[in-house]
Chains A and B, each alone.
Chain A
Amino acid sequence: MTELLTAVSIMFIVAGPFLLVANRFDLPTVPLLVLAGIVAGFGLDAFGIDEELTLELAQYGIALLVFAFGVDIDLSAVRTVIVDSEIAALAQVLVVGSLGVAFGVALGVPIEEAAFLGIAAALSSTMVGTALLRTEIATNLVRGRLARSIHFSQDLLAILLLLGLGAGTLAVGPIATLVGYGLALLAVAVLVNRYLFDAIGRLADDSAELMILGAVSLLAVFVGAAEYAGISIAVGAFAAGLAVRHDPVEYLGLFNGLESIKDFFVAIFFLTIGALVVLPFPFLPYVEIGWTESVEKLLLAGGLVLLTVVVKPAITTATLIYRGYEARSATLASLSSDQVSEFALIIAIEALILGLLTQSVFDAIILAAAVTMVVSSLTQRYDERIYRTLADRGVLSANHERIDTLSDVPRELSDHVVIVGYGRHGRKLIEACEEDNQPYVVIENDPVRRETVVAECDAFVFGDAMERYTWEKANVDDARIVVSTVDSDPVSRRLLSFEFDADLTLRANDRTIALELLEAGALYVSQSDLLAGQQLVTQIESVLDGERTPAELRDEQLAELESHSQATS
């Protein structure tokens, strides 16, 4: 067995228990893999194996990580982010980044290295941040969408930074050339995707094995081309990802296979990063480090943690509020960005390899990343409480004037229906009210929906349903019924806690939560699955009993679908 196999074995064996911990406490895997790597580093030392041995495998991990980002990238989202001018969120990157640089310089780190501290402080992790926000994104809540586009624009920025990094210098000349090479690579990728990929698919003739080999070969070619041109391999990998983008249905075997390969090598990448860290604790075995250096490293890491966990969310919140989002969505979205990005880790390791970064700054960045990723999952878990505490202390002052200017509620509104959320459900409810000439008020908080709300609704309050003032504004005291279409447990419970005189109906996704809400006093809780289940059984029965042929059912359903979509559009 080669030394390399021993090294990989040790890393994965150590990773096992750490992953169990991650699973038990619902933590993201990335920081625990890094921590496992730190521990595995001692095992490698015990076996007399050089940590750098796995560096080459780690590079494949980087390549595959970026490759997968390229494969999954939603190109239409790039457009939305730019059009949505959420690019403004990048202003926050600049501010936090500069603070990071300043902090490094203040501690005596040369400015070239401090730049990497700035990058680490400014960029947040998609893998951690959006993984934690899965449900919020799936249910299309404002903060989920916000968090995703913040992370997404930062990822794109990271790719650009990596492109610049290959030069090993920040001079203008080479960077322009490199950007040229990078763009050329991307152009080739698009051409491959358009003209070559399907041909490869045809030649592979449904063999997942060959498709995977083909895709990995493409990756190798692009990475090789990037290396040859002197730009970061990450850029080559990203381009290769773009080249392989495809609707996964036709190539399920390929995309599942790539995911396995990615998971394997990415784990090696994070483990290697951990193994490369020299802990700032001189009393540990195999740690050769002086006390002064230790203190410096701890200071750097600590400062970086503070910047990431406290300063960054604060600045992001401020930016978002300034952009017109209400305080709660802004705070919650910002809290999802309070960690160091995995891309910052890639940038750090590339910089270390290029000799642009000294060991202690590198270690500080990695340690800070591991710590912030764990902390982030905690702040995520208690985000509502954090927001409430801040709001109650008056840190985030509710801006009543703002709600007043944005809202339009007739003065003597009474016996009305209050509808929370102007999504698909909200729209149907309003149709029902309008048929009946029943007065209503819509409560909505998403700036993106603002124009539609203004155009289509007679009365609306533009504010957060969690805030008492919003309800005052909607004159809930004289309302007949409150119908919430927001599928969010905290919102539902908050509405119950207001104890309105009016009847209250809520929405829930989960059966047990629905029952709890009913128990807590809701008049009715709409649970989508229940209805779907009912309809399903009726339809299936009609087909199985031969009342309708499957083809008849299909025509019927299709006709109904068309009539619905016309009615709603």
Chain B
Amino acid sequence: MISEVALTVDFAIILLGATLAGFIAKQTGQPTIIAYILAGVVLGPAALGLVGASELTELLSELGLAFLLFLLGIKMRLDDIQHVLSPIVKISLPQMLLVFIAGAGLSLVLGFGLLESFLIGLAVMYSSTAVVIKMLTDKDEATSLHGKIDVGVLLVQDVVVVIILAVLAAGRPESLGEVATTLGVVLVLVALVTVAAVGASQTVLPVVFRRIADNKEVFFLIAISWAFLFVFVSDNINLFLAPLGIEAYLSIEMGAFMAGLAIAQLPYSKELQDRVNPLTDLFVMVFFVSVALDLEASQLLAYWQEAIVAALVLMPVKFLVFFYLLDWQGFDTETTFLGSINMIQVSEFGIIVAAVAFEGGFIDAEVLGFMTLLAIFTMAVSVYFIEFSHPLFERFEPTLSRWTSDGTFEGGKREYRNHAIVIGYDDVTRNALPLLADRYEDVVVVDRSVEHVEALEAEGYDAIYGDFRNATIRKDAAVKKADFALSSSVEPTVNKALLREVGDDATVFVEAERVEDARELYDRGAHCVIMTAHLAGERLADYLRAYLAEDERLESLMDGDVELLASSDPFPDTYEQLGGGLDD
């Protein structure tokens, strides 16, 4: 029988502690990641000992990483990253090798044993996916050129981590041949998952998602279900391979990323970003808090001096390695600088590699503590560098450009400016579209229905699928820079959000159902509030008057209305004929 279930106090404490720390960080201008990590250190066994790792926090932090990668995948349109694929591979492999040599050498100098130094070298090669991607997302730079390079390098590192974890998990390898086999199997699996994801994005997914896109809740849950499918398969890959006598390992992060990547190729991915983002924020917070939850203070601090020295050496080394390699690949000075400064920390994967090595009996708990401290310390410091990367670049640009070659790599995309935005495509707005297209270079339509978006795109309009209440959608439509906005939504929330965000000079037309709403919208700056039901009521009363007075004009007016109603053209080019009514 079911025992009494109380909600874990642990999670509540983590939540409250992190929230409090987060607010303090916000007020003092610090990045929230630092706040979460510190909250973990303070709440965990190293300091207050209020909470330890529990099954729930473990789940949520696992979900945090999985969702972070899923979200990242959703943002990656293959068309956008194709052109950086080759430099990414050319950067990441030498980078890992160089950092490995630096890390292992440094450890030897600091007095670690040969095997320990080798493993530390392996563990410090990667930069932190969680930190870099979270910061890039927060700064809205994930899809900028340097963002794409960093993300690409992180993913290559991810593949390497997976391979190394697989080798370590197999215990002490008996021969080089065994290592090679494991390596081969993992690479094949990664390739298979990629093929499955890309294949699905070409075949099944467009059909399925087109059907469900109009149902907000189902759309979201199916996307989650899809992500879990990949997470589950990646995690249980052993189960599927056991009959073949192969032992292998795939990270759930890799699976989640591929699941997201498959969805990113669909036109509905924007809407999903905003739905997945809040869950990711919540879970990733738990992840950062729990980084420090596993270790006792004595283990964590055994090698604290070594950790600080290592951090102070490794961060500049990482920066220089990245800087040299990016420059070598022909990126401009700014991209090179930003792309490198983002990657100077040691990854949470470093901790995981160390943890697996600890479990395999390769290293002591104190070395794991050293790795943890090194990771926490470099993550914390790097967050500041990422946060202030642009001012830093401006400060150092003159010096830097003396050292770098001229950039030859092109990237970036066009943004809307002085355009017209139409929210909702329906019988009201469809008449206005040709008129707006006539006067504006860009007309962007935001709509929640797949059918409408397809029709609009076929007609040559820029259409964004999504809910206007989502921040990404508003940003995509560049609401702030619009010169004209028209909303056919009668939801006051949507219209108020529009009025809040448009620039002062923009002309805004909105719709309302009730007089009170209309009044409020005028108060908030609307120039014209269309009241559909009122208009119709008045027109009907006019027609009734004409009918009762047996006015001859009535028939032709009604015929005109019917003709307009019957015109099946979704974009009537007849706006010049519109108007009418009995008042003219």
Are A536 and B431 interface neighbours, CB within 8 A?
yes
Q: CB of B481 within 8 A of chain A?
A: no
Are A558 and B522 within 8 A (Cβ)?
yes
* Residue B8, interface by CB 8 Å: yes
Contact B544–A433 (Cβ < 8 Å) = yes
Stretch of A75-83, A171-179, A221-229 lying at the B interface: A221-229
Residues of B within 8 A of A216 (CB): 15, 19, 282
Interface flag for A432 (CB, 8 Å): yes
| Interface: B580 (CB within 8 A) | yes
Contact assessment for B229 and A429 in the assembled complex, using a CB-CB cutoff below 8 Å = no
Chain B interface bracket (under 10, 10 to 19, 20 to 34, 35 or more) = 35 or more
Residues of A within 8 A of B252 (CB): 1, 5
Across the interface, which residues of A come within 8 angstroms of B9, CB to CB? 224
Contact B578 A538 (CB under 8 A): yes
Chain B residue contacts of A531, Cβ below 8 A: 532, 535-536, 539
A213 in contact with B282 given A256-B469, A536-B530 (CB within 8 Å): yes
Closest chain-B Cβ to A561's Cβ sits at a distance in Å of: 6
With most chain A CB atoms within 10 A of its CB, the pick from B220, B275, B500, B534 is B534
- B471 and A530 within 8 A (CB): no
**Closest beta carbon of chain A to B177's beta carbon, Å:** 29
* Complex: A518 Cα to B59 Cα, angstroms: 60
Is there an interface contact between A260 and B220, defined as CB atoms closer than 8 Å?
A: yes
Task: Indicate if the CB atoms of B59 and A5 lie closer than 8 Å.
Answer: yes
Q: Give the contact stretch, choosing among B108-116, B146-154, B449-457, B511-519.
A: B511-519
Taken together as a complex, chains A and B put the C-alpha atoms of A526 and B535 apart, in Å, by 11
Q: Are B5 and A55 in contact (CB under 8 A)?
A: yes
Chain B contacts for A249, CB-based, 8 A = 492-493, 496-497, 500
10 additional A-B pairs beyond A267-B221, A433-B548, A551-B527, beta carbons within 8 Å, are: A12-B225, A16-B221, A52-B3, A52-B5, A60-B7, A257-B281, A485-B540, A527-B536, A528-B533, A557-B529
Q: Measured between alpha carbons, how far is A5 from B228 in the docked complex, in Å?
A: 9
Inter-chain contact B224/A264, CB cutoff 8 Å: yes
Partner of B7, one of A223, A257, A417, A485: A223
Q: Given A56-B5, A537-B431, are A217 and B16 neighbors across the interface (CB < 8 Å)?
A: yes
Is the C-beta of A85 less than 8 angstroms from some C-beta in chain B? no
Is there an interface contact between B428 and A532, defined as CB atoms closer than 8 Å? yes
* Interface residue total, chain A, C-beta cutoff 8 A: 116
Query: Which residues of chain A come closer than 8 Å to B224, judged between CB atoms?
Result: 12, 264, 267
Q: Which of A217, A223, A267 has the most CB of B within 10 A?
A: A217
**B439 an interface residue at 8 Å Cβ cutoff?**
yes
The reply to whether B221 and A550 form a contact with Cβ atoms under 8 Å apart is: no
Q: Assess the B26–A205 pair: CB atoms within 8 A.
A: yes
The interface bits of chain A over 477-501 (1 if a CB of B lies within 8 angstroms of the residue's CB, else 0) are: 0000101010000000000000000
Task: Take A24-B211, A515-B566 as given contacts and tell me if A15 and B221 are in contact as well, using a CB distance cutoff of 8 Å.
Answer: yes
Question: A4 and B59: CB pair below 8 A?
Answer: yes
Is residue A524 contacting chain B, with contact meaning CB distance below 8 A?
A: yes
Contact, CB under 8 Å: B537 / A203? no
Decide: B429 and A233 in contact? CB cutoff 8 A.
no
Q: Is A22 an interface residue (CB 8 A)?
A: yes
Assess the A428–B493 pair: CB atoms within 8 A: no
Interface residues of A in 407-434 (CB under 8 A from B): 417, 424-425, 427-429, 431-433
Q: Contact at A2–B545, with CB atoms within 8 Å?
A: no
A382 CA to B177 CA in the complex, in Å? 69
Contact across chains for B544 and A483 when beta carbons are under 8 A apart: yes
Q: How far is the CB of A495 from chain B (nearest CB, A)?
A: 16
Please measure, in the bound complex, the distance between the C-alpha atom of A527 and the C-alpha atom of B561, giving whole angstroms. 9
Q: Is the CB of B566 within 8 A of A532?
A: no
Q: Does B47 contact A (CB under 8 A)?
A: no
Kindly identify, within residues 509 to 546 of chain A, every residue whose CB is under 8 Å from any CB belonging to chain B: 511, 514-515, 518, 523-541, 543-544
A45 CB–B CB distance under 8 Å: no
A354 to B531, CA, bound (A): 54
B313 within 8 A of A: no
26 A-B Cβ contacts within 8 A?
A5-B59, A6-B232, A16-B226, A52-B5, A56-B7, A204-B26, A207-B26, A208-B278, A209-B22, A209-B138, A216-B19, A223-B7, A248-B493, A256-B469, A355-B1, A425-B540, A428-B541, A483-B540, A523-B558, A525-B565, A532-B530, A533-B428, A534-B431, A550-B527, A561-B518, A561-B519
Closest to B496 in A: A249
Is B575 close to A, CB under 8 A?
A: yes
Chain A residues with Cβ under 8 A from B469's Cβ? Answer: 248, 252, 256
Please give, as numbers and ranges, the residues of chain A lying within 8 Å of B8 by CB-CB distance: 56
Contact with B along A422-456 (1 / 0, CB 8 A): 00110111011101101000000000000000000
Docked CA distance A95–B228 (Å): 45
Whether the pair A213, B22 counts as a contact (CB closer than 8 A) is yes
B277 at interface, CB cutoff 8 A:
yes
Q: A9 and B221: CB pair below 8 A? A: no
* Nearest CB of A to B216, in Å: 9
In the complex, what distance in Å separates the CA atom of A209 from the CA atom of B31? 12
Q: Does B406 contact A (CB under 8 A)?
A: no
Q: A48-65 CB contact bits vs B (8 Å, 1 = yes)?
A: 000010011101100100
- Give chain A residues whose Cβ lies under 8 Å from the Cβ of B535: 528, 531-532, 535
B23 contacts the other chain (CB 8 A): yes
Could you tell me the distance in whole angstroms from the C-beta of B35 to the nearest C-beta in chain A?
Answer: 10
Contact B23 A204 (CB under 8 A): yes
